[in-house]
Amino acid sequence: MKKLTKLLAAALSALTLMGLTACGTSAPADTTAAPTVADTTAAETTAAAGLDADVQAIVDRGVLRVGVKNAVIGFGYQDPITGEYTGMEIDIAKALADQLGVDVEFTTVTAATRTELLDSGDIDCVLATFTITDERKQSWDFTTPYYTDHVTVLVEDSSGIKSLADLKDKLVGVSSGSTSARALTAAMIDAGVIEDTGFDKSTFDPATWKDGIAFQQFDDYPGISTALAAGQVDAFCVDKSILAVYKTEGRSYIADEFAPQEYGIATKKGSGFSAYCEDFIQSKLADGTIDGWIADYNLG
């Protein structure tokens, strides 16, 4: 924020020196209204003050590369026939690219692959139901959340499982690299279904936890759904938005929803693009655009 404030100050003084008296792409150049912070957008500010090198590199490349989901309806969904991506996270990415004045290129990511693709520079940011956590914030930057989901559990009706209590001693399918197993274990502890002995939020490992609940980790969600149908796992746990596409006939959610999952845009830690994305999300929250997308995709 400090850097942005500095950039903003530089931009405003540059505009004053240049004798420009209006901001905003739609404002005529000869208007006499004085520039204010409120009507100066992030793009205009950084454009006037000079973009950070990493943001400039995206502009020079002419393409913003974004990691998205391909099977989360309403967030990131790829039509198997047309290959077209739709959803709120797709719209956010497109608007971000528009503001930068570049094209957008989507790469399908999973919970297991999204961070390595970001670290390697294959993608500039992740917009993929990526929950903001304190641990993750040590390694990547996240914007202010644009959406909050909850975790729940999908089961076959024939299993008779209806609640957290019914999950005692069951085997649950989760995605590797996800928050799901830890969230479910914590919820079962909070509900008094299992003991908290040995549970440590910061070191929790789904592969080794066996006390009253056990987990099988999968690379992707279709694999968990297939295992659920085959009876290889008793339940499928992840964010409700992700589960929706797998809730076919004969399957239900348990009654409990838990562990709020705040989704943010993830970028390389300390990068200029992190500040750019934060400013972008702030402006889209403030002007109601995010609420509009939530309504458009019936995510409210």
Under rule CB under 6 A, residue 131 binds ligand GLU: yes
CB of 193 to ligand GLU, least distance (A): 22
* Ranges within 171-190 binding ligand GLU (CB under 6 A): 175, 178-180
Under rule CB under 6 A, residue 234 binds ligand GLU: no
Question: How does DSSP assign 15-81, residue by residue?
Answer: HHHTT----STTS-TT--PPP-STT--HHHHHHHH---HHHHHHHHHTEEEEEE-SEETTTEEE-TT
Strands 235-239 and 125-127: unpaired
Closer to ligand GLU by Cβ: residue 223 or 283: 223
CA nearest 149: which of 264, 277, 254, 234? 264
Reduced 3-state DSSP string for 193-255: CCCCCCCCCCCCCCCCCCCCEEEEEECCHHHHHHHHHCCCCCEEEEEHHHHHHHCCCCEEECC
CB of 64 to ligand GLU, least distance (A): 21
Lookup: tokens for 26? 């739609």
CB of 194 to ligand GLU, least distance (A): 21
Per-residue string for binding with ligand GLU, 143-172, x by CB under 6 A? ------------------------------
Q: Which of 55, 238, 275, 281 binds ligand GLU (CB under 6 A)?
A: 238
d(CA 258, CA 284): 27
CB of 128 to ligand GLU, least distance (A): 6
Lookup: tokens for 226? 């297939």
Stretches 57-65, 234-242, 244-252, 271-279: which one binds ligand GLU (CB under 6 A)?
234-242
Per-residue string for binding with ligand GLU, 257-296, x by CB under 6 A? ----x-----------------------------------
Closer to ligand GLU by Cβ: residue 55 or 277: 277
* Ranges within 95-114 binding ligand GLU (CB under 6 A): 111
Strands 213-218 and 125-127: unpaired
What residues line the site for ligand GLU (CB under 6 A)?
111, 129-131, 175, 178-180, 238-239, 242, 261
